[in-house]
Amino acid sequence: MLMHLPVLIILAPLLGAPLAALMRGSNWPWLLATLICWFSLLCSILLLMQVNSQGEVIYIMGGWEAPWGIEYRLDFANALLLVLITGLASVVLPYARLSVEQEVGEERSPLFYAALLLLILGLCGITATGDAFNVFVFLEVSSLATYTLIAMGRDRRALTASFTYLIMGTIGATFYLIGVGFLYVMTGTLNMADLAERLPAISDSSTVRTAFAFIVTGICLKLALFPLHLWLPNAYTYSPSAVTAFLAATATKVAVYVLIRFVFTIFGVDFSFGMEPLAEVLIPLSVIGILSASTVSVTQPNIKRMLAYSSVAQIGYIVLGLAMGTAMGLTAALLHMFNHGLMKGALFMVMGAVAYRMGGTEIYDMKGLAKTMPLTFWAFVLGGLSLIGVPLTVGFVSKWHLILAALELGWWPIVIVILAGSMLAVLYIGRVIEAGFFGQPADTTRREAPMGMLVPLWILVIANIWFGIDTRLTVDIAVAAAAQLMAGGVAL
């Protein structure tokens, strides 16, 4: 059983999805999906422990050895990401029941949970696999599930948001596929480890360089790097609350992971940073992304949309970290991947609770929230402080390492950009807190969100503080993962 952990993470949701679709009502499919997520979380924690003791876990799918078959290859980076995905899913699903009942309706609930399971399956698959084409397959699975989920939003604008994402996402996936095709032509393999072995010899060819450009651009579309982020704000704003919370916390992170995998493991640091101008392209874009998206956040009247723009900025931080091309920068990127998942998950769950009780997520819906929904409000305050990067929260740990990485390189202007970004976060979080604290609500009766939403929400909030104080798990793994990746993905 322990041997088969990598495939169990994929199989459980794969089997669960059609079952959920066949069920009636909203409670049974919900229960099934929740149990599957908890099972997956257990599997991924066990996997992380295995990786911790062995350095690398290789699973050969169906007994067909690579390069003919598909192998799953887990090291620190993707094992940590699997814990994040399944962990977030395990927290979001219990929360989803009431929210989905209200926003999606009982009739469509089975389909909703089936799609959500497929999304989880896709994300886990992308993360776990060691095969470049397999990544594309799972990318499509998760994307199709995402389009469906976004379209289930209450607002009719969810449909156009979903359609925009469909177009952009398909372009991204196609670019990725073209790039992988070129690589296959040149090397005759799709296995990542083999690719990494064969590419250095032929890396000077224009085909490989073109492949690199296609792959990086395609993935950057999926991870919503400025200026390829245009699909994201609407998708996050109009999709059901539970979907937004899960997507914001995990989907873009998985795309970032694929980028990291290609840049560091497959093409290697020497090629990506030495022969290709990766840093020269990504750093300016992420800097502009951080500053412009944060600035746009400050004036958004809809808080879900504000947080969506903030996500674009935060992705900028992650890409900035990996584009530094140093072990410390990569550590910061991996840390922020995990930490940003925690904070955005918590904040979007707050917005879900607000939408549940107030019927909207505009800033005037948040007025006087300290009186009407105090526990929800304080969760927002703590999540917001984490986003700003106040000490004792995960945001501080990320920021510290990111600044440390920039200072190691002596990049003072980058330090200033990072700090300016968190100042803008003070502004856009601050105005919501001020509205919640001092605003006068239209209806002053106390109507706290139901326990079913509060408990998962607060679990994430506490995780934000826990991993901000006890950083052994996250920092140690990020450091180990960065060391592995810098060494070209070879187990140390």
Partner 1 sequence: MTANTALLLTLIVPLLGSVLIGLTGRWPNLRETVTLITAISLFALVIRVLMGLNAGEAIGVELVTVISGVPIAFNTEPLSILFAMIASGLWIVTSVYAIGYMRGTNEINQTRFYVCFALALFGAMGVAFSANLLTLFIFYEVLTLSTYPLVTHKGDDKAKAGGRTYLAILMTTSMVFLLPAIIWTYVAAGTLDFVPGGILQGNLAAGSATLLLLLFLFGVAKAAVMPVHRWLPAAMVAPTPVSALLHAVAVVKAGVFTLIKVVVYIFGTDYLAEVPYESIAVYLAGFTVIAASCVALRQTNIKRLLAYSTIGQLGYIVMATMALAPFSEIGAAIHIAAHAFGKITLFFTAGAIYVASKKTEISQLNGIGWRMPYTMAAFAVGALSMIGVPPTAGFVSKWFIIAGAFQLDNYFVLVVLIISTALNAAYFLPIIFNAFFKAEDVTPVKDHGEAPVNMVMALSFTAMLTILFFFFNGPVLDLETQIVGGMP
Whether 361 contacts 238, CB under 8 Å: no
Is 438 near partner 1 (CB under 8 A)?
Answer: yes
The residue range among 48-56, 70-78, 281-289, 429-437 that interacts with partner 1, by the rule CB under 8 A, is 429-437
Among 3, 167, 423, 490, binds partner 1 (CB under 8 A): 423
Rounded Cα gap, residues 60 and 450, in angstroms = 45
347, two tokens: 């904040």
Taking CA atoms, 5 is separated from 16, 51, 138, in Å, by 17, 12, 18
Among positions 187-206, residues that touch partner 1 (CB under 8 A) are none
The 10 Å Cβ neighbour count of residue 432 is: 22
Q: Kindly give, in sequence order, each residue whose CB lies less than 8 Å from that of residue 8, ignoring residues fewer than 6 positions away.
A: 1, 39, 40, 43
Question: Which one of 71-79, 140-148, 263-271, 390-398 is the stretch in contact with partner 1 (CB under 8 A)?
Answer: 390-398
Contact flag: residue 397 with partner 1 (CB under 8 A) = yes
Name 57's bridge partners.
74
DSSP letter string, 91-154: HHHHHHHHHHHHHT-TTTHHHHHHHHHHHHHHHHHHHHB-BHHHHHHHHHHHHHHHHHHHHTSS
Cα 322 to Cα 289: distance, rounded to the nearest angstrom: 15
State yes or no: residue 378 binds partner 1 (CB under 8 A).
Answer: no
Cβ closest to partner 1, residue 61 vs residue 403: 403
**Nearer residue to partner 1 within complex by CB, 31 or 415:** 415
Stretch that binds partner 1, among 80-88, 153-161, 257-265, 467-475 (CB under 8 A): 467-475
What distance in Å separates the CA atoms of residue 46 and residue 50, rounded to the nearest whole number? 6
Residue of 389, 395, 436, 441 interacting with partner 1 (CB under 8 A): 389
Decide whether 64 or 364 has the Cβ nearer to partner 1. 364
Number of residues that bind partner 1 (CB under 8 A): 29
| For partner 1, the closer CB: 107 or 470 | 470
For position 135 contacting partner 1 by CB under 8 A, the verdict is no
Exposed, middle or buried: residue 231 (CB in 10 Å: 0-12, 13-18, 19+)? buried
Rounded to the nearest whole angstrom, what is the least distance from the CB of residue 374 to partner 1 in the complex? Answer: 12
Interacting residue with partner 1 among 90, 162, 203, 471 (CB under 8 A): 471
- 434 belongs to the binding site for partner 1 (CB under 8 A): yes
Dihedrals φ, ψ of 7, to 5°? -85, -25
Q: Does 426 bind partner 1 (CB under 8 A)?
A: yes
> Applying CB under 8 A, which part among 110-118, 173-181, 221-229, 402-410 lies near partner 1?
402-410
From the CB of 80, what's the least distance to partner 1, in Å? 17
Q: Is 462 in the site for partner 1 (CB under 8 A)?
A: no
| Residue 178 touches partner 1, criterion: CB under 8 A | no
- Rounded-to-10 torsion of CA 178, 14, 96, 222: -10
- The angle at the Cα of 449, spanning 443 to 450, to the nearest 5 degrees, equals 135
Q: How far is the CB of 359 from partner 1 (least distance, A)?
A: 26
Paired with 323 in beta bridges are: none
For residues 282 and 207, the answer to whether their CB atoms sit within 8 Å is: no
For residues 383 and 393, what is the distance between their CA atoms, to the nearest angstrom? 9
Site for partner 1 contains 179 (CB under 8 A): no
- Interaction between residue 384 and partner 1 (CB under 8 A): no
Distance from first CA to last CA of the chain, Å, rounded? 26
Nearer to partner 1, 65 or 408 (CB): 408
| Given 280, 284, 430, 490, the residue binding partner 1 (CB under 8 A) | 430
- Amino acid letter at 474? T
Q: Tell me the window of 46-54, 203-211, 413-421, 481-489 that interacts with partner 1 (CB under 8 A).
A: 413-421
Find how far residue 9's CA is from the centre of its chain: 18
Given the rule CB under 8 A, which of 76-84, 95-103, 356-364, 426-434 is the region that contacts partner 1?
426-434
Interaction of residue 392 with partner 1, rule CB under 8 A = yes
- Smallest distance from the beta carbon of 480 to partner 1, in angstroms? 12
What is the amino acid identity at position 456? P
The nearest distance, CB 130 to partner 1, in angstroms, is 30
Binding site for partner 1 (CB under 8 A): 385, 389-392, 397, 399-400, 403-404, 407-408, 415, 419-420, 422-423, 426, 430, 434, 437-438, 468-472, 475, 479
